[in-house]
Structure 1
Amino acid sequence: MNSTSLSRYRAEWFDGASNARRDILAGMVGTFALIPEVIAFSFVAGVDPEVGLFASFIIGIVIAFAGGRPAMISGAAGSVALVAAALVSAHGLQYLLAATLLAGLLQIAFGLMKLDILMRFVSRSVRTGFVNALAILIFSAQLPQMLHVSWHSYAMIAGGLAIIYLVPRITTAIPSPLICILVLTTISIAFPMPIHTVADLGRLPSSLPSLTWPGVPLDWETLVIVLPYAIAMAAVGLLESLMTASVVDDLTETTSSKARECTGLGLANVAAGLFGGIAGCGMIGQTVGNIRYGGRGRLSTLVAGVFLLLVMVPLRPWIAQVPVAALVAIMIMVSISTFSWASIRDLARHPKVSGIVMMATVIVTVATHDLSAGVAVGVLLSGVFFAFKVTRMMDVASHYDEATDTRTYIVSGQIFFASADIFADRFDLRDTASMVRIDLSASHLWDITAVGALEEIVMKMRRHGIGVEVIGLNRASAILVDRLAPAVSTGPS
């Protein structure tokens, strides 16, 4: 690390006493916003709350030092929990820990190979579809807790939603989800009723996490089981983290290292797996809250992680009495706020292909419960539609000069694998002119398919006794033609 990088890194930690104080306070407030969502997502993943809380504690510490985006809150929540749920249900917690380790290693590899640049291929329509599908899956994961329950549970959920949405109109000093938990827990203790509590979901942490190794056989069969989930967890976690980092970049008008964020998240997830925690990723809601509370540096991220465990261990008996209805209300709020409602209106305003890409991403994700599959389909469709649009912009015009018995074809647009056949079909290979000039001044040859189409046109015309001259090739196209089709004679450019 050079002196410039070291100075920047130091500034990301301690950029003045006032900034440090602001980061500490923002991190502490962020912790309270973190607790209910981590517990709720642990419930979604089908693991004990301590698994998610341990992971968030470890991830918060590691990512504060190794991450590429200061002030970003990461934890065991979000879309990764949705991917993990199927693995836990089928094979149990130990296989989830193994998948977490493998996902972390994959993320480290992605970061070292600079694969964060692949985010450039994720269009806005795909990102919107990803967010909307995530919101739908979060809501659907709450349905089991809203079916076959007493009316008390419905009343508590309704009351929780009222608190979450009405309290911010009065004060924003304390996050309304935290007030929701306080009020509903107080009511359930004061007036016992037949409802589920956090204690019914599993164990809460009573001590510091300890280093452990997943209790799974180290063989091929285990790898076959965990690899698909590890790939999905790694891809989905990185996608959500990099999207969150981009949001922070916009809010703070600063830049961040996305490759370092990939590597840092991988290290954090490896550590989480070794300490008995589930994989995590960037948390959009908590990160935006941290920024709004004044957090700007790495210290706020570290405080959010450390303070989480400091709060959870002494408050364990109280946390155990939190009604599940409060968590359901919070998750409904999260799903509602996550969904891009403007995207529904934009379906009528934006190009139809954008709407198709967004809807396809949502449908595939919800149908498969695999966020990475939905994104893959969305990216594929975006590429196909883009290629189709560029293909339609390619044109070939021609004019004949009787004085010289020469026909000139003027080509405009991009020639590549998708437009090469259309390009070739525009030429009359049995032209009666003695000379044909192909003017490529307003076009570009992109690949071997384009060069092959040009070579085939030239060779066929020459076999019919027509002289052919290719002119106007730009430098890049000329280099490609010289390397792949040296038989094509080029005239002056």
Structure 2
Amino acid sequence: MFSISDYRRQWFGNIRGDVLAGIVVALALIPEAIAFSIIAGVDPKVGLYASFSIAVLIAFTGGRPGMISAATAATAVLMVTLVREHGLEYLLAATVLAGLLQICAGLLKLGRFMRYVSKSVMTGFVNALAILIFLAQLPELNLANDGVTWLTYALVAAGLAIIYLLPRLTRTVPSPLVAIVVLTALVVVMGWDVRTVGDMGALPDTLPVFLIPDIPLTLETLIIILPYSIAVAVVGLLESLMTQNIVDELTDTRSDRDLECIGQGLANTATGFIGGMAGCAMIGQSIINVKSGGRGRLSAFTAGVVLLVLVVGLGDLVARIPMPALVSIMLMVSIGTFSWSSLGALRVHPLSSSIVMITTVGVVVWTHNLAIGVLTGVLLSGIFFAAKIAQLFQISSSLSEGGHARTYMIEGQLFYGSAEDFAGAFDFVEVPECVIIDVSRAHIWDISSVQALDTVILKFRRLGAHVEVIGMNRASESLVDMLAIHDKPGAMERLMGH
């Protein structure tokens, strides 16, 4: 339940830690926001405005204090085709619509369905995201492209060396930021001819302003943007809710999933109206924030405000950042995002779990759509789970001393996956006077299992046996009373229609 005192404490309960952590996050957000803009095929200002807007708004509306949301690779890769075929204005419209869909998801309390996403699917999601980020860097490493030379590779290697080696000496300043400063200084001083951020498009030199996407308000437009908006909304919520779980574990606290869905939707909707692209929670930046001491809403707010001040005030300098510096950062993000331990775990995890993880990765990489991959993984997890539960189902029988009654003991879960085994376990050749079906150790779940029970009862009755069903629990009894036909007029004729 919402509490004013709790909300106030989330803002001002850790002022020093939140402000310092927010500044660190802002510095690290600049190169990533620019890089994600380039992935999507838009000007860097689109990602920078988005990161500012989403970070600030989510500070007020989100359900997970201390979590950082901004423009992300997960949403950027989904917009590439839309931007290429229809332009920036359609991206902005798709962002607004994605936000509205996320608000609806929160109001409908769909966040609870996150519990049905298995660990294998989550691992596949993260690994696929890492691969997509890596693949997005390949054009900047292709020697056939203008401005890409062997010097590019040398600068990327130098950037990676700084990123990974500097933390062994000091963690006072984020190593990605140091890599940008050092490589930019080298390129400027030496006069090397390499691609820069300025070559990708204009950086913002003013504060963002409210605007309405310049698109025709027609059904055709809706048909164009709706698939992208749905994908962005689903992927954004998936990554946000997974990041929310991680931050919950790191801080040993619990947060509101449905409120987070609404907060993400409000942030994206507003961002589309100021010229920003869609975003969501960032796993890497959220961990940086928490480990830097950020715990409250003030950390995300500080990160967004400081980011905008740096970009607007230092735009000319940011435009001179060499692309190899950003490529090295994105390679670092890709390497850090990939769950390398999952490769070794393939040898010890159950085969079904490994198949789910690998399939999720394969579908995402093949379709470049994280939502389709996650949906495939969830469905596959459900199939494997049903198969495992069906294997736990068994039936035994015993004949009474006089031979006039046979009791069938049902144990386990009776549902569509075990209904066939249930129906095939009864002996219709030897038909005693009385057949007792004991379901005291079983549970009846669905219409398939009810129909299987109907079939067995009616077959025995047709052969002249008296049938009793005993031990049924209340939930099973309610379902059977509602769906079963074996005690209704014309049941034998209806059986023939099954």
Q: Deviations over 1:444-492 (max 9, x none)?
A: 0001211111111111101110111111111111121122226459xxx
Distance 2:101 2:339 in 1: 30
Q: Report what 1:147 is aligned to.
A: 142
Q: Deviations over 1:247-285 (max 9, x none)?
A: 100000000001000000000000100001000000111
Q: Report what 1:13 is aligned to.
A: 11
Percent identity between matched residues is 55
Q: Report what 1:80 is aligned to.
A: 75
Q: State the AA in 2 paired with 1:136.
A: I
Q: Report what 1:43 is aligned to.
A: 38
Distance 1:429 1:61 in 2: 70
Distance 2:486 2:117 in 1: 40
Kindly indicate whether the alpha-carbon contact (under 8 Å) linking 1:136 and 1:335 is maintained by their aligned counterparts in 2: yes
Offset at residue 118 of structure 1 (A): 1.5
Distance 2:371 2:485 in 1: 43
Q: Deviations over 1:279-312 (max 9, x none)?
A: 0000111110010110000001100011110111
Please list, as runs of the form range in 1=range in 2, the aligned pairs for 1:360-399 lying within 5 A after superposition. Answer: 360-399=359-398
Tell me the TM-score normalised to structure 2 length: 0.96
Distance 1:480 1:129 in 2: 37
Q: Deviations over 1:378-427 (max 9, x none)?
A: 00100011111111111111111232521111111101112112111111
Q: Report what 1:456 is aligned to.
A: 455
Q: State the AA in 2 paired with 1:114.
A: K
Kindly indicate whether the alpha-carbon contact (under 8 Å) linking 2:439 and 2:472 is maintained by their aligned counterparts in 1: yes
Confirm or deny that 1:128 pairs with 2:123.
yes
Q: Report what 1:355 is aligned to.
A: 354
- Counting matched residue pairs gives 484
Kindly indicate whether the alpha-carbon contact (under 8 Å) linking 1:78 and 1:283 is maintained by their aligned counterparts in 2: no
- 1:442 aligns to what SS in structure 2? strand
Distance 1:206 1:430 in 2: 87
Kindly indicate whether the alpha-carbon contact (under 8 Å) linking 1:429 and 1:457 is maintained by their aligned counterparts in 2: no
- 1:154 aligns to what SS in structure 2? helix
Q: Report what 1:322 is aligned to.
A: 321
Please list, as runs of the form range in 1=range in 2, the aligned pairs for 1:460-475 lying within 5 A after superposition. Answer: 460-475=459-474
Confirm or deny that 1:58 pairs with 2:30.
no
Q: State the AA in 1 paired with 2:256.
A: S
Q: Report what 2:491 is aligned to.
A: none
- 1:397 aligns to what SS in structure 2? strand
- Name the stretch that deviates more: 472-481 or 279-288: 472-481
Q: State the AA in 1 paired with 2:221.
A: T
Extract unaligned runs of 5+ from structure 2: 489-498
Please list, as runs of the form range in 1=range in 2, the aligned pairs for 1:121-270 lying within 5 A after superposition. Answer: 121-148=116-143, 149-270=148-269
Distance 1:222 1:484 in 2: 45
Distance 1:190 1:79 in 2: 35
Q: State the AA in 2 paired with 1:244.
A: T
> Which of 68, 72, 91 does residue 86 from structure 2 map onto?
91
Q: Report what 2:95 is aligned to.
A: 100
Confirm or deny that 1:429 pairs with 2:428.
yes
- 1:152 aligns to what SS in structure 2? helix
- Name the stretch that deviates more: 425-434 or 467-476: 425-434
Q: Deviations over 1:155-177 (max 9, x none)?
A: 10000000000000000111100
Kindly indicate whether the alpha-carbon contact (under 8 Å) linking 2:415 and 2:444 is maintained by their aligned counterparts in 1: yes
Distance 1:92 1:478 in 2: 58
Q: Report what 2:104 is aligned to.
A: 109
Kindly indicate whether the alpha-carbon contact (under 8 Å) linking 1:458 and 1:488 is maintained by their aligned counterparts in 2: no
Offset at residue 430 of structure 1 (A): 3.4
Kindly indicate whether the alpha-carbon contact (under 8 Å) linking 1:104 and 1:266 is maintained by their aligned counterparts in 2: yes
Distance 1:177 1:314 in 2: 20
Kindly indicate whether the alpha-carbon contact (under 8 Å) linking 2:130 and 2:335 is maintained by their aligned counterparts in 1: yes
Kindly indicate whether the alpha-carbon contact (under 8 Å) linking 1:400 and 1:407 is maintained by their aligned counterparts in 2: yes
Distance 1:89 1:33 in 2: 28
Distance 1:280 1:194 in 2: 33
Q: State the AA in 2 paired with 1:308.
A: L
- 1:436 aligns to what SS in structure 2? strand
Q: State the AA in 2 paired with 1:268.
A: A
Q: Report what 2:495 is aligned to.
A: none
Extract unaligned runs of 5+ from structure 1: none
Q: Report what 1:344 is aligned to.
A: 343
Q: State the AA in 2 paired with 1:347.
A: L
Kindly indicate whether the alpha-carbon contact (under 8 Å) linking 1:24 and 1:300 is maintained by their aligned counterparts in 2: yes
Distance 2:150 2:321 in 1: 18
Q: State the AA in 1 paired with 2:34.
A: I
Q: State the AA in 2 paired with 1:293.
A: S
- 2:203 aligns to what SS in structure 1? coil
Confirm or deny that 1:32 pairs with 2:27.
yes
Q: State the AA in 1 paired with 2:347.
A: A
Are the structure 2 counterparts of residues 488 and 343 from structure 1 closer, same or farther at C-alpha, using a change threshold of 3 Å? farther
Are the structure 2 counterparts of residues 102 and 274 from structure 1 closer, same or farther at C-alpha, using a change threshold of 3 Å? same
Distance 1:122 1:488 in 2: 40
Offset at residue 151 of structure 1 (A): 1.2
Confirm or deny that 1:414 pairs with 2:409.
no
- 1:482 aligns to what SS in structure 2? helix
Q: Report what 2:299 is aligned to.
A: 300
Kindly indicate whether the alpha-carbon contact (under 8 Å) linking 1:481 and 1:488 is maintained by their aligned counterparts in 2: no
Q: Deviations over 1:214-268 (max 9, x none)?
A: 1111001111110000000000011011111111000000000010000000000
Kindly indicate whether the alpha-carbon contact (under 8 Å) linking 2:431 and 2:463 is maintained by their aligned counterparts in 1: no
Kindly indicate whether the alpha-carbon contact (under 8 Å) linking 2:440 and 2:473 is maintained by their aligned counterparts in 1: yes
- 1:313 aligns to what SS in structure 2? helix
Distance 2:72 2:306 in 1: 17
- 2:437 aligns to what SS in structure 1? strand
- Name the stretch that deviates more: 424-433 or 109-118: 424-433
Q: State the AA in 2 paired with 1:439.
A: D
Q: Deviations over 1:23-61 (max 9, x none)?
A: 111111110011111111111111111000011111111
Q: Tell me how large the CA RMSD over aligned residues is.
A: 1.1
Distance 2:8 2:454 in 1: 58
